[in-house]
Structure 1
Amino acid sequence: MEGLENTLYSAYLINEGVNLEHSKTQGIYKVLVEKCTDGIYVIQSGRFRFTNPEFRRIFGYTHEELTDRDIRDLIVPGEMELLTETIKRMEVGTEKTVRCEFKALRKDGKIIDVEIDFVHFEYHGRGAVLGVVREITMRKRLEDKLKRMAITDELTQLYNRRQFYSQLEKEIERTKRYHAPLSLILLDIDNFKRYNDTHGHVEGDKVLEKLGEIIRNNVRRVDTAYRYGGEEFTVILPETGWIEAYSVADRIRKVFENTTFYPKVLHGTVTRRHLTMSIGLAEYNPTFNLENFVRYADDAMYKAKIRGGNKVVPHEIMIKGTKPGVWQISNLG
């Protein structure tokens, strides 16, 4: 084992940019690796030949438990193919260094995020892999949180406008490829400016927050909801024709209409209020581009407004294309 350790220490330090001529003894290398705050290991044929204390701490195993153990035992099944291919390339020397991130499995069953550097080197005439492991679970959680914050509206916890356009573009490409229907709902709270002016923005925010909850609770898992801006919201409904989308939209409208709000007025008096919304919808057509698609839903919403609000209105293109008897104009309210 001593020869392997010396080779390992040298390979690790070279990988870290250390000039071995400036180091006095192999004992110094050993102390550095044993005290290193990175997990370090060596494998041959996919099995452990060496692990340092930090590696064993990260994964919760003893030295004896890891000796000759298959490294694949420490990686979640869904990432096994990437790990196997990486090790194969490194051991034969196809690549000299590579860095990957994996979901790893501790001895206690806990799944953690790790970053692994793989370095090819020769030991006893055979290819081996030196690995440097860092646990990055907290970093990944922070990254995920920042990503969510970048695409999420803080007040309603729905996706934001930027994410809406990004996702809609993907859904349009998907519906073109698979020829599946795709519908879009655009809604706006009726007379919301008056409500804000009367009761203040704090009470108005409560309404927006509640509406976000209502939308989330009344769409399917495959649907995605967004705060489009101000009091406007939108829902993308994949694999959904406009008549089915109408049912979803009308369900949201009814639940919102029947929700009671208790805003405070002057001198702290509490009053009861009900609000309504106007909803427009459109179904994607291959002749549309993204801008047309959104505009048709927006035009339909505007028509719901001028008809008095508290309505769901499909764009007229949808109605004209419907077979007789499937849709009656009376359904427009």
Structure 2
Amino acid sequence: MEFGGDVNFWKSIVDRMLAGVIITDITMKYLYVNDVFSAVTGYGKEELKEMKITDLAHPSHLQQASEAIEKVMTGKSIRGEFMYLTKRGEKRCAFGFFTPYVYKGKVYAVGNFIDITYAKELEEKLKKSEEFYRSLIDNSSSPILIVQDGKFVFVNRILEEITGYTREELIGRNAFD
């Protein structure tokens, strides 16, 4: 199977990828965006071609977005989490990878993104749930302790009061001494 320089073939593949794909110039202006990137941002492809990366960056991540592209334009590949705003103003989170690409003497940034907003929301809910249950256990009027491999790994506040030992003194100590 020979595809060679069939631009339409390659464009068709990139447009159907599950990740958002972008190409920007040195000014951070979008030169190319695939269908996924257009869909997750809520902007049409032509609208995006009139915008820069910084136009979509969440205000709290504006400097991070600018610094990321600057690094890419100096030849470094980068990856990380980026906050952006959709056309409707929704705050979203993406994991992205940018790499430099030099073509005919000009440097471009090629980026791939996966929206991880849902995963981040679940992570936050789990964190709040853990904090809630930790607070319940720590403030229980009953002594609670966890022993693993014969050593204390957790003790609550009331156990400290009953034994007279601090958590720091108990954690890691042999429970059977």
Separation in 2, partners of 1:160, 1:73:
46
Cα displacement (A) at 1:143: 2.4
Cross-structure match for 1:130 = 110
Cross-structure match for 2:135 = 158
Letter in 2 for 1:135: D
More strand by share: 2
Cross-structure match for 2:20 = 39
Give the percent of matched residue pairs that are identical in Structure 1 and Structure 2. Answer: 24
Cα displacement (A) at 1:68: 3.4
Cross-structure match for 1:80 = 62
Equivalent residue for 1:228, pick from 127, 152, 156: 156
Separation in 2, partners of 1:23, 1:91:
33
More helix by share: 1
Moved over 6 A (4+): none
Cα displacement (A) at 1:73: 1.1
Letter in 1 for 2:99: V
TM-score norm. by structure 2 comes to: 0.72
Partner SS state of residue 158, structure 1:
helix
Q: Does 1:104 align with 2:84?
A: yes
Unaligned runs of 5+ in 2: 143-154, 170-177
TM-score norm. by structure 1 comes to: 0.40
Cross-structure match for 2:3 = 24
Q: Does 1:70 align with 2:47?
A: no
Separation in 2, partners of 1:146, 1:23:
49
Partner SS state of residue 98, structure 2:
strand
Letter in 2 for 1:127: V
* Counterpart contact for 1:187–1:233, Cα < 8 Å: no
- With over 3 angstroms needed to count, the CA separation of the structure-2 counterparts of 1:101 and 1:142, relative to structure 1, is same
Unaligned runs of 5+ in 1: 1-21, 162-185, 190-226, 235-278, 281-288, 293-333
- CA RMSD in angstroms comes to 3.1
- With over 3 angstroms needed to count, the CA separation of the structure-2 counterparts of 1:51 and 1:160, relative to structure 1, is farther
Separation in 2, partners of 1:48, 1:102:
16
Cα offsets for 1:278-315 (capped at 9, x unmatched) = x99xxxxxxxx8747xxxxxxxxxxxxxxxxxxxxxxx
Separation in 2, partners of 1:151, 1:113:
23
Letter in 1 for 2:122: L
Cα offsets for 1:141-186 (capped at 9, x unmatched) = 2222333444441xxx73655xxxxxxxxxxxxxxxxxxxxxxxx7
Relative contact order (C-alpha < 8 Å, sep 6+): which is higher?
2
Partner SS state of residue 24, structure 1:
coil
Letter in 1 for 2:19: D
Q: How does 1:254-333 map to 2 (within 5 A)?
A: 291=168
Separation in 2, partners of 1:290, 1:60:
51
Q: Does 1:116 align with 2:93?
A: no
* Counterpart contact for 1:118–1:131, Cα < 8 Å: yes
The number of equivalent residue pairs is 152
* Counterpart contact for 1:188–1:233, Cα < 8 Å: no
